[in-house]
């Protein structure tokens, strides 16, 4: 299925296909689909309109891997980096960085921490001035994730994550990410909160409600977000999500010229759930009216 690439994006695609322009390398990144039950809901952030990538779009928590995320001193419990590497078909160091980035970015962008004092416990409260100072220091990169965990006497709980998907930004984009998607449950006792930063608002939503807003043109979402929400809408509970066997297939939409027009081709198995009105281009602006809330989730 092909989605139009108009204007400058289309010209960039033409130049890349002709070999006159080299694509920007994709940076390793991690995204976490944070879930809570009764009913099943997902945590979404709306990116600020001033952001260079996916401005104004509704997204899951996530971001680029910090080189320090691959630090071997990170206290670890659960499947090893080598095991995660097998799942994502990545080297052990890359896998370590991806999992650490997933946990770190979730804490930075929601206040939720997938770590605990031991291999079978998890932090129950991340509110308070001390936690907020650490969160801001992580965002500012003045504190590494390994230092943060060591200071708090915590271990990363990789067993609280489930691998879900792998998307690579199309070569036509000036900012590209090689993103692995994870799912995780909101730990008992923890709460999400409006953490500002890259987000202009946050919300817990039922997957089908978020999809309805996107289909109505009142919420901007990129194909990976829409596709993942479509998959989540098929489940009734977090337990169902984690019980479903999952094989990771890499998806990278590719530009092509069809009848003189530049289009972005997305595999049919992916586009079956994506209306043509959804993807557009990353530079496209669509008005959003999903209700925002600054309240912390429970």
Instruction: State the pLDDT confidence band at 104, using cuts at 50, 70 and 90.
Output: very high
145-182 pLDDT, tens digit per residue, is 999 999 999 999 999 999 999 999 999 999 899 999 99
Model confidence over 189-240: pLDDT tens digits?
999 976 655 555 788 999 999 999 888 888 888 889 999 999 999 999 999 9
How many Å apart are CA 79 and CA 157, to the nearest integer? 9
CA 122 to chain centre: 22
Q: Of 246, 39, 78, 61, which Cα lies nearest the Cα of 161?
A: 78
DSSP class per residue in 94-117: HHHHHHHHHHHHHHHHHS---EES
Q: Is 153 exposed, middle or buried (0-12, 13-18, 19+ CB in 10 A)?
A: exposed
Alpha carbon separation from 212 to 204, 235, 280 (Å, rounded): 15, 16, 17
- Percent of the chain, pLDDT > 90? 70
Q: How confident is the model at residue 290 (pLDDT cuts 50, 70, 90)?
A: very low
- Which positions ≥6 away from 248 have C-beta within 8 Å? 87, 88, 89, 163, 164, 165, 166, 180
| Predicted confidence (pLDDT) per residue in 9-31, tens digit | 899 999 999 999 999 999 999 99
The pLDDT assigned to 48 comes to 59
Strand locations in 67-170 (E): 76-77, 115-116, 155-157, 161-168
What confidence tier does 57 reach under pLDDT thresholds 50, 70, 90? confident
- The arithmetic mean of pLDDT across residues 132-139, rounded, is 94
Which segments within 21-113 are labelled E, that is strand? 27-36, 41-47, 58-59, 62-64, 76-77
Which residue shows structure tokens 């930004």? 169
Mean pLDDT of 64-80: 95
Condensed to tens digits (0 to 9), the pLDDT of residues 252-276 reads 999 999 988 999 888 765 554 555 4
Q: What is residue 240's DSSP assignment?
A: H
Query: What's the pLDDT score for residue 197?
Result: 58
pLDDT in the model for residue 198: 56
Asked whether the predicted pLDDT for residue 285 surpasses 80, the reply is: no
Nearest-angstrom CA–CA distance, 182 and 161: 6
* pTM, entire model: 0.87
More confident residue, 291 or 102: 102
Q: What is the pLDDT of residue 49?
A: 52
Query: For the chain, what is the mean pLDDT?
Result: 86
Angle between helices 129-139 and 92-110 (to 10 degrees): 130
**Which residues have a Cβ under 8 Å from the Cβ of 262 and sit 6 or more positions away?**
4, 5, 9, 10, 11, 13, 14, 255, 256
Token pair belonging to 178? 């090689």
């Amino acid at each position: 299925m092909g989605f139009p690439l108009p204007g400058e994006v289309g010209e960039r695609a033409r130049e890349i296909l002709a070999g006159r322009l080299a694509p920007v390398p994709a940076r390793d990144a991690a995204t976490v689909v944070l879930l809570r039950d009764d009913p099943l809901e997902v945590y979404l952030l709306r990116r600020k309109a001033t952001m260079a990538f996916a401005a104004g779009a509704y997204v899951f928590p996530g971001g680029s891997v910090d080189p320090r995320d691959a630090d071997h001193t990170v206290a670890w419990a659960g499947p090893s980096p080598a095991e995660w590497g097998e799942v994502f078909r990545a080297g052990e160091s890359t896998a370590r960085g991806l999992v650490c980035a997933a946990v770190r970015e979730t804490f930075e962008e929601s206040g939720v921490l997938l770590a605990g004092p031991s291999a079978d416990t998890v932090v129950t409260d991340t509110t308070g001035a001390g936690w907020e100072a650490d969160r801001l220091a992580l965002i500012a990169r003045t504190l590494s994730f390994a230092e943060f965990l060591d200071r708090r006497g915590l271990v990363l709980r990789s067993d609280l994550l489930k691998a879900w998907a792998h998307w690579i930004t199309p070569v036509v984009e000036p900012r590209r990410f090689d993103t692995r998607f994870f799912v995780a449950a909101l730990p008992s006792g923890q709460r999400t909160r409006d953490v500002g930063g890259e987000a202009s608002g946050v919300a817990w939503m039922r997957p089908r409600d978020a999809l309805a807003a996107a289909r109505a043109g009142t919420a901007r979402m990129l194909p990976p977000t829409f596709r993942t929400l479509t998959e989540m809408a098929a489940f009734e509970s977090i337990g169902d999500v984690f019980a479903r066997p999952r094989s990771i297939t890499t998806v990278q939409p590719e530009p092509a010229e069809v009848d003189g027009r530049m289009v972005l081709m997305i595999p049919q198995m992916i586009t079956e759930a994506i209306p043509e009105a959804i993807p557009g281009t990353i530079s496209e602006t669509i008005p959003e009216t999903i209700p925002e809330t600054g309240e912390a989730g429970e």
